[in-house]
Amino acid sequence: MPRPDQPTPAEIAAVLEQLRYEVRAQREQLAHAEPYSATLSALEQQLQRCSEQLEITRVVSAHWPLVGRNLPERALFLMHKIIRRMLHWYINPIVVQQNSFNDAAARTLQLLIESHNELRRQLADLPAPAQPTKPAPPARTADLPADADLPTLQAWVEAQARTEPPATFPDQQARSFLGTLHTKQAVSAHWPIGGRTPLEKVRALLQKVIRQYLRWLINPIVEQQNGFNVAATAATIALLRADRELRAIRAAHQAGQHQQ
């Protein structure tokens, strides 16, 4: 039985939310102190928020607090605790495996965020790219006459293209998976259950009754996993955006070096 002075789940949630707010405020203050431009600072803050959400949501628990305020609720929750203990052999291995994956995925995304921040700092220390004054004249090669006609020029371009290595666009390939992330991030505990024969329909009805009763145990686990999935999707989208920003900065520096 819970003690009278035991905090309620709402009070625990309020304390956690206050701690999260203080962490976000401290990190945003540090982000404003960095000597980056406004756009990069906003992007860095977004990555920090994604990192915090990954850390907050990566652990899935199969033992949410069951606290009753009156005698009937306490009796009901005591029965729930007994059933949860009996299903420990079945539910907990699933949760442990999922937590192992969540931990690996969260750490990988956080390392990518840290790597991005470090690379952005290195690019910020580079001198500003030179502004081109006029376009450079096209290069000529020894095997291409200056007065070459259009068919000759086209054949030369095709011959040069065949010697180039195949172009790869990993950022575009990764961006193509965003739609899949959005559609697959939601886990459902209520897939359709049906049957064709009378026996199958009776079994389906029994399964629905059991599933309806076990909502108090299964649904919180699913909601926690969905929270991590949403955080992982948001971090992936932010990293792709940050990668696009860094590619643009690097291209500007390379263009400036060619102009010098």
| Domain-located, residue 13 | yes
- Residue 227's pLDDT is 93
- Residue 40's pLDDT is 56
What pTM does this model have? 0.68
| Domain-located, residue 53 | yes
| Domain-located, residue 167 | no
Task: Please list the ranges in the chain whose pLDDT falls under 50.
Answer: 1-6, 30-31, 33-38
- Residue 180's pLDDT is 81
| Domain-located, residue 198 | no
Show the domain range for 88. Answer: 9-129+172-184+227-245
- Other CB atoms closer than 10 Å to residue 153's CB: what's the count? 12
The HSE-up count of residue 25 (CA atoms within 13 Å, CB side) is 6
- Residue 115's pLDDT is 87
| Domain-located, residue 25 | yes
| Domain-located, residue 32 | yes
Distance, CA of 120 to CA of 248 (rounded, Å): 12
| Domain-located, residue 138 | no
| Domain-located, residue 196 | no
* CA 84 to the chain's CA centroid: 31
Q: Which residue is it, tokens 């696009």? A: 244
Number of domains in the chain: 1
- Residue 149's pLDDT is 75
